[in-house]
Structure 1
């Protein structure tokens, strides 16, 4: 989804000039007189390989709601609410004026990520004003000259976090005609082949009481409720120390490859001996590969106290598998053919969560509340500062957190953020990735 960027600031700081520079056309009227822009103006902006929707706004001024200035301000406030990122522009030649401060506080309260722009920063006097912009408390200012096109590379770097990394991008179109890749994995003799035979409605795969019958990862085309599925049956995964036979090593490697290429992985447990150490290792492997996960409790027809055991096993899953908290636990019987519909409903549910994209504005509103409830700790007397967060990709959801001293952020705090994201945005059982990125100071001499 295209990001929306709003340009705000007091009158006559060069907002419309910056708007024209980003859209590549003189769409907005520009004049030395303040207050030329009154309505919100939108355009399609391009900066480097970034493409986004840009909104030019009227200059912010104190006024009553009924007045023209008040109505212009309301239009600007609406643009701020609609934006994913705010460019707060100040005049570097004039320095920070008293009129800048209340509006800096207003954009800070919005909870949206703010990039501070020190415009008209060409020449020595302009750079001095850019240093003055630090006092607004909106982070490092980006010095530029919208009129002369200077500093646009620094603006590009500041906007980059709000756009997916081209190297991370995948073909994420959810094409209903494209088969959903589902791998069934588990320990030997968990009943994987029997389950798949019941799903496809024929004895397609060889089964029997002997463990390890399946050697190759077999793919089968199937359809569930009109949706094409490609099922992968895999060899049973034993503890690595026990795998000595060369053929079994190849079978295990083939099973691991099936996990990597799958979109959803069903880890099949034997309900009569669930959550063995190897089961936990297999779930951990699926999480490390970033696949969507469903836990299937096979041989459920052999369980006596089904209701009591299901409750107990769900609690065990939460306790033993915190890295995929909330993963669906589905009782079924491959032999009897029961539980297949609930299993497939869970498969599509986790697939949808795995594809989740969260708007940057919502993310940062949540982040602000999370930081207020539990601020990051201090290191050597300086508190770690987290500024903003954005989602860089999905499949699985991957978030980038930006701030200062993040290399000292404890792992426990990263877990706090991951658990909060899972709960706030309803991502049960989905692997969540968080990358910590520290921004660079544009005035850092070493960088230059």
Structure 2
């Protein structure tokens, strides 16, 4: 028996997808689950993925299929494409887990069982401590997690490699040894071959001590996660495709919770596709505490985080202006690139928006009007001289992403007469024509 096998993860009548590679850990896992399946009325289905990275990988597939046939357990297999990938490990991880989920849905399984053991857990934590990770990452390999809403369980995570070997010998379990496990080309193998024996010499119970460290991390992070989720539930605002957080509220958080809030906001925006570094988080923290009213950093080619006055915004901000220019010779509606509208009319009652009353005596002195977004060097004439439009927008605290889209209305002499909510030139006359601005998508 495997005395440290975590039976709490398996319930009566469970339908389990068992990931079996053909190595000692997964073959022991399959054997043990097969022994207890009758007493718990378990349904077992095996999945095997051939990574095609070793010439002998076909032997693993044959062993798994043969074993499943002998146990009368249904086995599904998948071969990965043997192509060059920038990161084969990440590609294989996604392909493998997606395959497990696909079969779980097909056979209506409720859990996916993986064969990570106690030594794997220790190696993972030590590797993350060495290369750097997050508070969340320092927990190591979790006994229970989720992938695409499917529960992943690892009942061997409390079982040492030596206990697995003893069980294998006592039960004469056939397995294949992965030849790459003997090489030191991989980081995990170097830790396994060189560091773990040293730790065992220092303290034979080092695995238990690393597990204790992990348990403390799990408990501490549960509190951090609870606090950050509560904060996000009350403070995170989604506007179009971007996520907004109030900077004053962020500054009220304990720093460790703030770090987790930032990480979760980024994960939401990127759908967990961006691997964050300590420097990434530190850079975002720097935005929050920066005295500049508007400042931006790019964390990835698809993600910018920027401060706009009292907002921290996670999105794909482009500072390039989508230039537009319309010459208008009579009352009409003009559709802007962000789906906003500029309406020139003598009958304003049918419209909502920001309204400017343009007074005149002779229409020939009004048209043509120009509707365009701002340009470098734009200025407004005042009684005491000229002011740069850029400076006026900054003083009015117009957000960076709005400045390049807001329409400017110019008269026939190319003089700026109106910027909605920012500036309007006083005009005289007995007749009135109305210019109305309706905002479009804020993040278009």
Task: Give me the TM-score of the superposition, normalised by structure 1.
Answer: 0.25
Task: Give me the TM-score of the superposition, normalised by structure 2.
Answer: 0.26
Greater CA radius of gyration, 1 or 2?
2
